[in-house]
Amino acid sequence: MAEHSNAPLVEMKNISISFGGIKAVDDVSVDLRPGEVVGLLGHNGAGKSTLIKVLSGAYAKDAGEIFINGNKVDIKSPRDARANNIETIYQTLALADNLDAAQNLFLGRELMTPFGLVDDSAMEAECRKIMGRLNPNFQKFNEPVSALSGGQRQSVAIARAVYFNARILIMDEPTAALGPHETQMVADLILQLKAQGIGIFLIDHDVHSVMELCDRASVMKNGKMVGTVKIADVTDDDLLSMIILGKNPMEKEDV
């Protein structure tokens, strides 16, 4: 694929998707550059998760186009998204409760022995390594994830998204279940990944952490895009009023 040096890493143009007559996402456009964190904000049911699920291949869009590095791509399944180096932390975490952390980490991409059998020991070793970085306290490697706390489960989901060297990372409320210390660790992780040139979509209800971590923020309301702003140009209150009133304070450009 040709790399258009000035093209965004991801460009979602005029995306629409509806569920039985309800327009969950209505003609929304967002973009993301390498090393950039773009926050997605909006009230409950605004359409944030639905929008990113189009990018991660979970939902098929009704209309719109997706470009990666300036090339039009057709993402029809989660496999297609993974093939484009898109990794996702879903709001629901998407873990198989009956499998352990390592089996979830590698689900769909198992490490194999030379005999073509899944190599659980090797996967557990890798899992211990990455969890050691993300959550050094984690020890429950031989238990199904149903036996983990909400935060522990979330750290497994984060490990899965980070492990495979994504270039595009989607995080749908990644810190919802985390304690303050762990939330800070995820914040550090985001900055670290950003420094590596990874583009991140971050969905978060906490305006504060969006102000801290993001370069730009896109606000949605009732499936429509209210506007995209540079974080440097706005205050907490500006963002809040965009979310609540659905009006763009800059009152200019943008869709």
Partner 1 sequence: MTDMTSAPVPQKDDGNLFHKLELDMRLLGMIGALFILCIGFNWFTDGRFLTPRNIFNLTIQTVSVAIMACGMVFVIVNRHIDLSVGALLATTSAVMAMMQTQILPNSFGLGLGHPLIWVLAILSGLLVGTLIGAFQGWMIGYLTIPAFIVTLGGFLVWRNVAWYLTSGQTIGPLDQTFLTFGGTNGTLGTSWSWVVAVIASIGAVWAMWSSRRSKAGHGFPVKPVWAELTLHGIIVASIFGFIAVLNAYLIPERRLERMFEARGEVMPEGLTVGYGLPISVLILILVALVLSVVAKRTRFGRYIFATGGNPDAAELSGINTRLLTVKIFALMGFLCALSAVIASARLSNHTNDIGTLDELRVIAAAVIGGTALAGGFGTIYGALIGALIMQSLQSGMAMVGVDAPFQNIVVGAVLVLAVLIDIIYRKRVGAK
In b/e form, how buried is each residue of 86-109, taking b as 16+ CB within 10 angstroms?
bbbbbbebebeeeebbbbbbbeee
Binding mask 90-129 toward ligand ATP (x if CB under 6 A, else -) reads -x--------------------------------------
Which DSSP category does 160 fall into? H
Total of chain residues touching partner 1, rule CB under 8 A: 51
**Least distance to Mg ion, CB of residue 146, Å:** 23
CB of 28 or CB of 37, closer to ligand ATP: 28
The CA distance from 93 to 91, in Å, is 5
Does position 79 bind partner 1 by CB under 8 A? Answer: yes
**Least distance to partner 1, CB of residue 246, Å:** 30
* Token pair listed for 50: 């639905």
CB of 134 or CB of 243, closer to partner 1: 134
Distances (CA, A) of 251 to 43, 85, 166, 226, 237: 20, 35, 35, 10, 15
Q: Which of 1, 21, 74, 117 binds partner 1 (CB under 8 A)?
A: 117
Radius of gyration of the chain (CA): 18
* Token pair listed for 90: 């879903």
Q: Which of 2, 6, 44, 108 binds partner 1 (CB under 8 A)?
A: 108
Does position 50 bind Mg ion by CB under 5 A? Answer: no
Binding mask 79-98 toward Mg ion (x if CB under 5 A, else -) reads ------------x-------
* Token pair listed for 27: 């003609």
Segment contacting ligand ATP by CB under 6 A, of 19-27, 81-89, 130-138, 143-151:
19-27
The CA distance from 4 to 2, in Å, is 6
